[in-house]
A and B are shown apart, each in its own frame.
Chain A
Amino acid sequence: MWWLVDDTDHQLAREALHMERERTAFLAKASSTLLASLNLGRCMDVTAQMAAESLADAALTVAPARGGRLPVVTCLRGGAPAVSTLTVDPDDVPGLGEALRGFPPVPSRWIDPATAPAWMVPEGFGPVGSIVVTPLPGHGVPAGALIMLRKAEAAAFSDEEEVFTRLFAARAGAAMSAARLYAEQTAITDVLMRELLPPVLHQISGVDFAGRYRPSADHERIGGDFYDVHPAAVEGEASLVSLGDVCGKGLEAAVLTGKIRNTLHALLPLADDHQRMLRLLNSALLSSHHTRFATMVLASAVRRGSTVDLRLTSGGHPSPLIIRADGTVEQADTHGTLIGALPNISATTVEASLAPGESCVLFTDGITEAKGGPMGNVLFGEERLKRALSGCAGMPAEGIVEHVQMLAAQWLGNRPHDDMAVVVIATPRTHHLSAVNGHTRGRYTA
């Protein structure tokens, strides 16, 4: 006996299931790849590449025009995405101008492939069979558009395919929108932060300066420690170095360091009187709405002959350490009250002189209070710092700064820490009388 079974429906269902599975897998891959990046360019690359691999023979991601120029990423199936910025009118392509303005998509059968402008068709693509332009919806504003091309010999886009393309476009648009938002925020942060970043130090009028800063949180670049070197207004006068520590850490403290640095900058004409500067800064801080206070050390450094003369004043800050040529480490005997807490402050100023190869190290307590070591619970401490510095006689300023920061970092391991800043003022070790030849910065004549 024969049984005849009609499995056409079964077969159709199986094919439909298979296709659904493939589409789900494609969307899942699209989501994970697009979510991974917050870079607009990379999101555009991924969008064009994935569309060209799975939905069309070639794809273009177009971002909204900036200043009349259209950012475009083009990708051929099997190829790598190529970036270009074009001066073209998006309204020349039916549906593109609408997509970039957030209007509903134009069905592909309304777009005549013959009208496709040359910039849209990748080199070597051949005649275009069909075109789909899909808007990439963003968060409130259009994120761009996806253009897909199929070759003349390939089947045109079906309605079902266009609907599916929109699902992909929703994901791509969301990713591009997030990336654009991130880029805008980063640009704002960068501009605002620029003034708060520690400056890059170098040689000024025959005195070597070097500094390095490590904020308490690894993901931040600024914090509650600060330093600056202000060159003298008149050649032959002293440069002023300030290094300090605002109570607290993170952004709030960083904002106050900015105010202190600005105030000190304004007080530069009084730089030969450290105590007066600190007094004025103290009253400025007391009258501001901040309740935070700061400690700091001021140093005036000027080259006289082969030595550097220093004047050092500490306002409640760890005393600077001086490394002599023979490796002796001396503590500068300057003490004072912290700044911004009491109506009256006092501070003592000491003078010192650095022979060639000698240096003066200013640091914040983040270094000495670094807790860790091989046993895990010991403070780095001033004694250990002094011992380390005694091996640094004659070293270039950058070398000392790096050495101190490295020792503190190794002492800490992965443990949490405070902001850490180090500045070194050094007298160059060698006399070098050759004329400046324009190649190197900061050669001097003694």
Chain B
Amino acid sequence: MSTSTPPRLPDAGHVKQMAEQLWSHVADADEHAATDLVLRMLDEGTDPESVLLDVIAPVQGRVGEEWAANRISVAQEHAATAINERAVAAVSVHPAARTTVTWGRVTVACVDGEWHALPARLLAEVLKLRGWQVDYLGAQVPTPHLIAHLHSTRADAVALSSSIATRLPTAHAAITACQSVGVPVLVGGAAFGPGGRYATLLGADAWAPDARTAADRLAQGRLPRPETDHQQFDDLPHLGDQEYSMVARNSASLVRTVFTTLEDAFPAMRSYSDLQRERTAEDLAYIVEFLATSLYLDDAELFTWFITWTAQILAARGVPAHSLPPALDLLARELKDFPRAGRMLRAATHTLTTAPSTAARNTA
């Protein structure tokens, strides 16, 4: 809790009701009603941190859930996020959110290829409220930009956000690069897995499940200066088998091969429209991308989870999921010389054919 503003004890019921109202404004794409709502809460004396994390963040979480359940499109997700962004911006300029810098300096950024900027934005605002000097670099920050920024500022830490597991190899490169210039890294976001298990694997200095915990962790004291001569692949000796490199490098040709063979195996695919064919190719590309990531992390569970989730999405889209096992089988045949990939593909197929439609993990 911020000590510089007199916080009104958040009344859980009231806050929940406000979140519900904000959701309805966001769903209506009514940005004015949305910003008015958060400004009114601040005027009435609600703690700004609570507005950000107990009202706006849950609404954004719900946007993600609606998208994952295929109830809204990607475009609608963007529209809702744009309105939430404006609500956050409204909070950040409200007099109640004015603070003085009492701590050090933190850089907040999203990994390259990560477009879900709102969690990072919320963290940046919360850290500002708690008296940090924050450099917020936004979504999709190329690692060279991040490092150039660290060279020209004296950040005490970097907070790095990633929501999609397939960004983890890039996140790993960014974590190692920040550490190699002497800046410790705190990571967060769904990409780092349940309990932040990949954060440890990829050598992050700290992990936090949400903005509040992240701010608390940074307030506990300076993260220790990382070892600078550490190299990215020291963490993951299994990469020596080159399976990740081969799959990642040849992903497009793998998708092409499996797509063509799948067309022969499923004559029904020939009657697909161009859009349907492109969707199918996209699904295959995601599968290959997740396979590469699972190989990178050496985690077969991640791949199985993704396949189970894809099956659910396909079902929600009204596409029969029975084309998934043959696709995995074709991939396994293409990758017959890769034992780790083979094991992952078999495990996923096994789960798919024995216990369908039970995704164990939250995707938002």
Question: Which positions in A face B, CB cutoff 8 Å?
Answer: 32-33, 36-39, 41-42, 46, 80, 179, 182-183, 186, 218-219, 221, 373-377, 387-388, 391-392, 394-396, 398-400, 402-403, 406, 409, 429-430, 432, 434, 437, 439-440, 443
Contact = CB atoms under 8 A, between A and B. Distances in A.
Contact of B222 (A38, A80, A432): A80
B113 A398 contact: no
A186 B151 CA distance: 10
19 contacts: A32-B228, A33-B228, A37-B182, A39-B151, A80-B222, A183-B152, A373-B281, A374-B255, A374-B282, A376-B256, A391-B74, A391-B75, A396-B83, A398-B85, A399-B75, A400-B78, A403-B74, A406-B115, A430-B33
A376 B257 CA distance: 12
A425 to B, nearest CB: 16
A399 B222 contact: no
Contact of B113 (A409, A430, A440): A409
Nearest to A46: B182
B141 to A, nearest CB: 10
B82 A399 contact: yes
A186 B222 CA distance: 28
A402 B78 contact: yes
B29 A394 contact: yes
A80 B224 CA distance: 10
Given A374-B255, A375-B281, A396 B31 contact: yes
A375 B259 contact: yes
A376 B255 CA distance: 9
A46 B284 CA distance: 49
Most buried by B among A36, A41, A186: A36
A431 to B, nearest CB: 9
A399 B78 contact: yes
A392 B113 CA distance: 21
A395 B73 CA distance: 12
Given A375-B259, A430-B30, A432-B32, A39 B153 contact: yes
A400 B83 CA distance: 12
Nearest to B75: A391
Given A218-B112, A373-B281, A36 B181 contact: yes
B191 to A, nearest CB: 16
Given A402-B82, A429-B29, A409 B140 contact: yes
B154 A439 contact: no
Contacts of A179: 151
Interface in B77-118: 78-79, 81-83, 85-86, 90, 93-94, 112-113, 115
B278 to A, nearest CB: 7
Contacts of B284: 374
A41 B228 contact: no
Interface string B126-167: 000000000000011010110010111110000000000000
Given A186-B152, A395-B29, A219 B39 contact: no
Interface string B291-321: 0000000000000000000000000000000
Contacts of B229: 32
Which 5 residue pairs spanning A and B have beta carbons closest together? A376-B252, A399-B82, A374-B285, A218-B142, A374-B281
A179 B182 CA distance: 14
Contact of A439 (B90, B222, B259): B90
Contacts of B151: 37-39, 179, 182, 186
Given A218-B144, A396-B82, A439-B93, 5 more contacts: A391-B74, A391-B76, A399-B78, A409-B115, A429-B29
Nearest to B83: A396
Given A374-B278, A376-B253, A430-B32, A396 B79 contact: yes
Contacts of B78: 395, 399-400, 402-403, 406
B180 interface: yes
Contacts of A186: 148, 151-152
A41 B154 contact: yes
A343 B39 CA distance: 56
A434 B40 CA distance: 14
B35 interface: yes
A267 B255 CA distance: 51
Contacts of B39: 437, 439-440
A183 B145 CA distance: 15
A396 B151 CA distance: 36
Contacts of B154: 39, 41-42
Contacts of B222: 80
Contacts of A183: 152
Contacts of A218: 112, 142, 144-145
Contacts of A432: 32
A219 B144 contact: yes
B29 A396 contact: yes
Contacts of B81: 399, 402
B31 A430 contact: yes
Nearest to B152: A186
A374 B327 CA distance: 15
Given A32-B228, A36-B182, A395 B79 contact: yes
Nearest to B32: A432
Contacts of A39: 150-154, 181
Contacts of B94: 439
Contacts of A33: 182, 228
A430 B281 CA distance: 39
Given A32-B229, A46-B182, A218-B112, A399 B152 contact: no
A32 B222 CA distance: 22
A80 to B, nearest CB: 6
Most buried by B among A32, A80, A376, A443: A376
Contacts of B93: 439-440
A374 B288 CA distance: 10
Interface in B227-268: 228-229, 251-253, 255-256, 259
Contacts of A409: 113, 115, 140
Contact of B115 (A32, A373, A402, A443): A402
Given A399-B78, A439-B39, A36 B228 contact: yes
A398 B84 CA distance: 12
Most buried by B among A32, A39, A399, A400: A399
A374 B35 CA distance: 39
A388 B228 contact: no
Interface in B1-41: 29-33, 35-36, 39
B90 A37 contact: no
A1 to B, nearest CB: 54
Contacts of B83: 396, 399
A80 B144 CA distance: 28
A37 B252 contact: no
A330 B259 CA distance: 33
Given A375-B252, A376-B252, A409-B113, A398 B82 contact: yes
Nearest to B151: A38
Contacts of B144: 218-219
A254 B246 CA distance: 37
Nearest to A44: B154
Interface in B33-68: 33, 35-36, 39
